[in-house]
Amino acid sequence: MNIDLTGRTALVSGSTQGIGRAIAAGLAMAGARTIVNGRSRSRVDAAVRALTDENPGAEFAGVAADLATADGARTVLELFPRIDIVVNNLGIFEARPVLEIDDAEWTRYFEVNVLSAVRLTRQYLPGMMDRRWGRVLFIASDSAVVIPEEMVHYGMTKTALLAVSRGYAKAAAGTGVTVNTVMAGPTHTAGVETFVTDLVGDLPWPEAQRRFMAEHRTNSLLQRLIEPAEIANMVVYLSSDHASATTGGAVRADGGYIDAIIP
């Protein structure tokens, strides 16, 4: 399948590392001019340099902005008024007993994981609809429907993204713009390595991963952590013309973790 995004401009929120970084690389290698985002100018610049070195011929730009704030979203809009592909990837997670999560933490998770995506979509979707082409993607998680006991606040935000995505897809009906959610399964990132170590102890990584999957993610049919590039492959496909009939969907790249035939 030849995916060609030449002439498109893509924005990936929270893309200096992990899944977001892999998505940025995938979109750029498919031909899109890809904007990398993070809060720190130094980290954004470093990520853009590294991605450019690793992906010869791909085009990257960077924007330092805290997208959990309205000011951050406005900064991105001022610098990049036209975006064809928005990937709402920004998210935070941490294990915390649900009875210990206070109001401030609930609010912080909602602002970072949900409102950042709402603001970007609200900014860019109207222009896509006017141009009769666009792609909006939300990176959710198996945790949206299989709420993890150790981080209910995170699961709540991913459930919210399913509703937000479906609602925006309805708003864009008939315009040629598609809006979808990718439900990522347990994925191997630096943050997840720390999370796994916190849960199973400081073990050699192969053993820690096996123990984590066996004890904490028993539903996985893949029986291993997913690599970020595997999530990126789904995003790149959904960003292409080949996925023109897929909208309003919760598309799974979860390693078979969600124990349901229909999402």
| CATH C-level class of 9-187+226-253 | alpha beta
**All structural domains of the chain with their residue ranges:** 9-187+226-253
pTM above the 0.85 mark?
Answer: yes
Instruction: Report the distance separating Cα 5 and Cα 3, nearest Å.
Output: 7
Task: Judge residue 77's burial from the number of C-beta atoms within 10 Å of its C-beta, 0-12 exposed, 13-18 middle, 19 or more buried.
Answer: middle
pLDDT band at 239 (very low <50, low <70, confident <90, very high): very high
Q: What is the mean pLDDT of the chain?
A: 96
pLDDT tens by residue, 94-135: 999 999 999 999 999 999 999 999 999 999 999 999 999 999
**pLDDT value at 262 more than 80:** no
Tell me, what DSSP letter sits at residue 226?
A: B
Instruction: Report the distance separating Cα 199 and Cα 197, nearest Å.
Output: 5
By DSSP bridging, strand 60-64 and strand 85-88 are unpaired
Q: Would you tell me how many other CB atoms lie within 10 Å of the CB of residue 221?
A: 11
DSSP helix, strand, coil percent of the chain (3-state; round to 5): 50, 15, 35
53: left (phi over 0), alpha (psi -120 to 50) or beta: alpha
- pLDDT of the residue at 86: 99
Instruction: Report the distance separating Cα 93 and Cα 201, nearest Å.
Output: 18
What does 121-157 look like in DSSP terms, one character per residue?
HHHHHHHHHHHT-EEEEEEEEGGGTS--TT-HHHHHH
Q: Which of 109, 154, 168, 257 is catalytic?
A: 154
pLDDT band at 261 (very low <50, low <70, confident <90, very high): confident
Highest mean pLDDT pick, 83-87, 93-97, 254-258 = 83-87
Cα distances (angstroms) measured from residue 229 to each of 110, 142, 247: 26, 17, 22
- pLDDT of the residue at 1: 83
pLDDT band at 263 (very low <50, low <70, confident <90, very high): low
pLDDT tens by residue, 25-57: 999 999 999 999 999 999 999 999 999 999 999
Instruction: Report the distance separating Cα 17 and Cα 73, nearest Å.
Output: 20
Instruction: Report the distance separating Cα 259 and Cα 125, nearest Å.
Output: 33
pLDDT tens by residue, 9-27: 999 999 999 999 999 999 9
pLDDT tens by residue, 181-237: 999 999 999 989 998 999 999 999 999 999 999 999 999 999 999 999 999 999 999
Measured in residues, the chain has a length of 263
Instruction: Report the distance separating Cα 194 and Cα 201, nearest Å.
Output: 10
Q: Is 154 a catalytic residue?
A: yes
Instruction: Report the distance separating Cα 236 and Cα 243, nearest Å.
Output: 10
Average pLDDT for 228-255: 98
Cα distances (angstroms) measured from residue 199 to each of 52, 105, 176, 203: 35, 21, 44, 11
